Amino acid sequence: MNTPPESNIPQHVAIIMDGNGRWARQKGLARIEGHRAGAESVQRAVDVCSELGIRFLTLYAFSTENWRRPASEVRGLMKLLDQFLQERLEELQKHRLRLKAIGELDRLPASVRKRLEKVMEKTCEHKAGTLTLCLSYGARAEITSAVRTIAAEVQRGELKPEQITEETVEAHLYTSDLPDPDLIIRTANERRLSNFLLWQASYSELWVTPVLWPDFRKEHFLQAIADYSRRTRRFGGMKNA
């Protein structure tokens, strides 16, 4: 498949990576093997973004709701995350990518937080792009946290209620240093946002594929980009206004 013109390539792609468990079940494997295979798809997505010049890639890796899963699965996921961070540092440095993590990171195991902080510190000066991992992340929790912080500023007299704007809220979100996603991809044919970037996704283009995340390849990513490039984004206005 031909690559769309550079002008039609999104600046920021976010992915809801779905289908790891179904992939494992179809193959008669333990669920953790689906997550392990999914980690390989993450690397493929990073490579495609570097190749196409997509500067921001945000991945919904672990939601606040995922803590409700069986303890054994959560432990396995945390172990995979630690392994991913350890193994991919060299690739991030090679591509000059900054690693960012957003969510209730204090809920992560101490060893994983330490590894995460180390990788973020080692890549913080990279300018080629940003890979953001949403870990223990929920959009409602993010917005609630922002509101609490703003309310505290009002209470201290640092801000007046009438001074609160959309820009004020955006400045207090986890993603304050990122542009809103242009394109959100969801795999496994699921058609909902699942508490993902609810504020930031207001005008994001959506692309859904039946492909399970562990089977997601470059060709599927290019299909999403090609579909995005054919759309006209009006942001609530009119094309010729």
| Catalytic pick among 2, 20, 66, 189 | 66
Whole-number CA gyration radius for the chain: 18
Give SS3 for 155. helix
Rounded Cα gap, residues 196 and 15, in angstroms: 10
CA distances from 27 to 37, 184, 210 (A): 12, 28, 17
The partner residues of 132 in beta bridges, in order of sequence, read: 58, 100
- Asked about 180 being catalytic, the answer comes back as no
Task: Please compute, for residue 215, the number of CA atoms within 13 A of its CA located in the half-sphere on the CB side.
Answer: 14
Rounded Cα gap, residues 182 and 203, in angstroms: 8
- Asked about 195 being catalytic, the answer comes back as no
Rounded Cα gap, residues 73 and 22, in angstroms: 14
C-alpha 209 chain-centroid distance: 17
CA distances from 216 to 3, 150, 152, 160 (A): 17, 40, 44, 48
Residues forming the active site: 18, 66
